[in-house]
Chain A
Amino acid sequence: MTTPIVSCRGIEKWYSGVHALKQVSIDIRGGEAVGLVGDNGAGKSTLINILSGVAMADDGEIFFEGAKARITCPRDAMKLGIETIYQYNSMVPCMSIARNLFISREPLKFRIGRFGVIDIKKMREESMQAIANVDLHLRTPDALVGELSGGQRQGVAIARAMYFKSKLMILDEPTNHLSVKETNKVLGFVQSLRKQGITSIFISHNIPHVFACCDRIVAMARGEIVLDKPVGETSMDEILEVL
């Protein structure tokens, strides 16, 4: 078996007296699409926040591609190649698509330290290319993200993650608050990720969605992993029972 892309070993997290994660260990292998399910408060989001640098574990270790990783902020996670797409907060509505795609990673004409002048032409062209690559066709990179539909927004977020060659894409409830049609569109994006061999963790309340686009299901309850099986070896009923 190949080295997993990510290994979590004995992750512990407390939130003011609440034991949010209890000795959680999980391996995610390259090319896998893992569905992470669980009720509210089961610890899914906590685990994801630790991987994406939004929160830090109180104890435990994370290995990325076999090497011990220290993820203290979202930048650390992004440098490793972990991209996270949240249900709402991955885009700034009053900014253009092009500007959103490149926040904090703008293509620069020249730089002094971390500061520099944006190469606007390159930014616009590359963003059009990036969204076309996820099969999302928008007429202009200058449209404000606030004018896009919820599904299109998630499409742009996924395009961003793809553009930056993410090794592990985390999708945190990307279909919440979307219409059925939009949801199907987003599920389509997720399925195309799997075809392109991108490793992903898909978090959802909706168990049929997870079954539709994942290879393996991991269920969490009360801060622990209670089930971890390939899609073919489990059923929706079994999942519902352990939750």
Chain B
Amino acid sequence: MKRLLKIYLEKPELAGLVLLIVLVIIFQVKSGGVFLSLQNLQGILGLLPETGLVAIGVTILMICGEFDLSVGSVFALMPMTMAVIMTFGVPFLPAVLAGFLVCIAIGLINGYVTLKFNIPSFITTLGMLFIARSLTVVISGGFPPLLSTDIPTWLFTAYVGPGDLFRMSFVWFVAVAILAGYLLGRTNFGNWIAAVGGFREAAAATGVSVNSVKMICFVLSAVLAGFAGMIQVMRLGSPLPSIGDGLELEAVAAAVIGGTALTGGIGTVFGGIIGAVLIRIIDNGLVLSQVDANWFKFAVGFLTIFAVVANTWLRARARKIKLEVSA
């Protein structure tokens, strides 16, 4: 029993999960049952993939011990690159590919500068936040291009599932989430990510090439941010240069609410997703409960601090439960 409790308390995503359930109940009651209605869930699940995909990338990178503040700008730059290239008559697929190449390049630059010059990734990616945003505005030429109507937007926006509950973007999101969860928990590369973030020296001494692992995580974070941005643009129909503004901090908040440690090593993909779901639910639930929507950021901020405090407390509690490790 003690053992179960201990295992339970040590789950980093536990605090976030409890908060999620509590909030769902509160919003359901406050909104008079509208919150969990099909139509409202449809709205939440339609927006979730965009925050969720970014949060997955940021969570993995944070577990690896690094930070990415440039995801919000990459979120805008990728679809803008794609749309601008398409205005020159380039077909959809090569344009998407070009967009992803830009993301890969940004991930590589973030990683290279951070690791080569041994500076905090906080600084590198803060710089990249401004650079990528500026590039987005510059290549748009001030007039965001309209997406042509013959591209397969249905691949990301069409409603599917029972009662048209979710959009195709949700299917993509679930697929990426399962893959990312599997990568982190079940593959040797996932083991290296946790080792590198948990204790860099030990990982290096046991033969993990620390820099390559971090590099791949930087690229992964940028690519997922770009993919999420592309999905949003498909939904909106036009790549606005301002999309994704502030998303980087929302993604960090999601990761932290989900139990990811800022110091690296601790966290799960599932936790990051719980964090993202929480943020979307607060956004929606506040409106339904007829609370002034300007309280949204207050709530996210409060929740971030609360989740970290709760997680720290839970971890300390778990440690206090003395279990004889020796048989």
Contact = CB atoms under 8 A, between A and B. Distances in A.
A93 B198 contact: yes
A176 to B, nearest CB: 15
B146 interface: no
A108 interface: yes
Contact of A92 (B10, B189, B194): B194
A27 B204 CA distance: 27
A150 to B, nearest CB: 13
Interface string A95-138: 10001101111101000001111101000000000000000011
A138 B187 CA distance: 25
Interface stretch (B79-87, B247-255, B318-326): B318-326
B205 A108 contact: no
B154 interface: no
Contact of A89 (B189, B199, B266): B199
Contacts of A138: 325-327
Contact of B186 (A91, A102, A104, A117): A117
A74 B194 contact: no
B188 to A, nearest CB: 4
Nearest to B201: A89
B207 interface: yes
B124 to A, nearest CB: 25
Nearest to B196: A92
A78 interface: yes
Nearest to B206: A103
Contacts, number: 102
A103 B208 contact: yes
Contacts of B209: 73, 75
B191 A74 contact: no
Interface string B305-327: 00000000000000100011111
Given A99-B194, A138-B327, A92 B188 contact: no
Interface residues on A, range: 35 or more
A94 interface: yes
Interface string B8-32: 0010000000000000000000000
A90 B186 contact: no
A236 interface: no
A74 B199 CA distance: 16
Interface in B206-255: 206-209
B175 interface: no
Contacts of A94: 194, 198-199, 261, 265-266
Given A103-B191, A147-B319, A152-B325, A95 B186 contact: no
A143 interface: yes
A120 B266 CA distance: 19
B203 interface: yes
A240 interface: no
B266 A147 contact: no
A108 B189 CA distance: 11
A115 B199 contact: no
A114 B192 CA distance: 12
- B189, B319, B325: residue with the most chain A Cβ atoms closer than 10 Å: B325
A148 interface: yes
B71 interface: no
Interface string B157-192: 000000000000000000000000000001111011
Contact of B189 (A73, A100, A115): A115
Contacts of B104: none
Interface in A58-89: 73-75, 78, 84, 86, 89
Contacts of A102: 191
B187 A104 contact: no
B325 A143 contact: yes
20 contacts: A54-B204, A54-B205, A74-B206, A78-B207, A89-B201, A90-B205, A92-B198, A92-B202, A92-B265, A94-B198, A94-B261, A95-B195, A99-B194, A103-B195, A103-B206, A104-B195, A105-B206, A117-B187, A118-B191, A138-B326
Given A74-B204, A106-B191, 17 more contacts: A86-B205, A92-B199, A92-B202, A92-B265, A93-B198, A99-B191, A103-B203, A104-B188, A104-B192, A105-B206, A115-B188, A137-B326, A137-B327, A139-B324, A139-B325, A139-B327, A147-B319
